[in-house]
Structure 1
Amino acid sequence: MSVWPAWEVREDGADGDDAGVTSWWGVRLAFPDGAQVDLLAVVSDAGVCIEDVRAQPALSLDDLAVLAEWVEGPLSEVCGVEPAGEPGASRHARPAWPRGIAGQWLVAREYRAAQEEGVDPVLAVMGATGHSRRRSLSLIAQARDTGFLTARHARR
């Protein structure tokens, strides 16, 4: 694995001190079979995030899911930040969403609010939950089944 700095942004605090530094790093993973992964990683006080990935041959979804774990430790050492994998830290970009009745009630609330604002309610639920369209539709259906949303079609 090779790592090189791409650029850095410093934010000034109110008293003139550096309030935070965000830096972008180029990373190349080269494998013995000739496969190669190039990525652009963002390192900040919050940890390491991957912004762009190019792989030859293309990565499977499983490999893409663990890509951050492959580079987080070595990249954190090079950049001098703590890995986000400390106890209690979440690796998922998806916000925490309650399960069961509480989650269904929140889905219904997001759905109705989007309808009142005149925007796509499914997209609103997707944005709130961080789930795919298919999973969001499933959550909406569960909220309907529970009675938090009216039936989509009148039944005869």
Structure 2
Amino acid sequence: MSVWPAWEVRDGTGATAWFGVRLEFGDGAHVDAVAVLSEGCVSIEDVRAEPALSLDDLAALADWIEDPLSQACGIGVAPDGAGPDDTDPDGTGPDGADAGSSLAGSGWPRGVEGQWLVAQKYRAAQEQGTDPVLAVMTATGYGRRKSLRLIGQARDAGFLTRRRARH
């Protein structure tokens, strides 16, 4: 996968930048996309694939390109690999302050402490008979995708049992 800056337009309040994204697969298939970064948000503007993507593959495209695209856009990835957050690549928050042990946007702790807390919220919701993913979303302030990633990390760390056996 490769990501490169395509062009940037500056105005009085900031800038909008476009990035080219290319995924190449071993069988010769490829996906080309144009992503735009504006006001701290990354959006996909155009996608072309050869052969054409199925709807499932199109939905998975965001997961495939999220981390490399975020790094190229300067949004940053958490040091523990948790995914994009509001910290810069050097570990500082948007105001230049050290992000420390919490995510700049939500105050949710990183690493083992955050994984343990996610597991606690998840299990408590299960015991109460409520939606555990929604409980994690509410506790962290993140959307469904990021919350599912945090739950997966808690599973990988051994705080939650595996959802299903892998064959």
TM-score by length of 1: 0.48
**Greater RCO, 1 or 2 (C-alpha within 8 Å, sep 6+):** 1
| Structure with bigger gyration radius | 1
TM-score by length of 2: 0.45
Answer 1 or 2: which has greater strand percent. Answer: 1
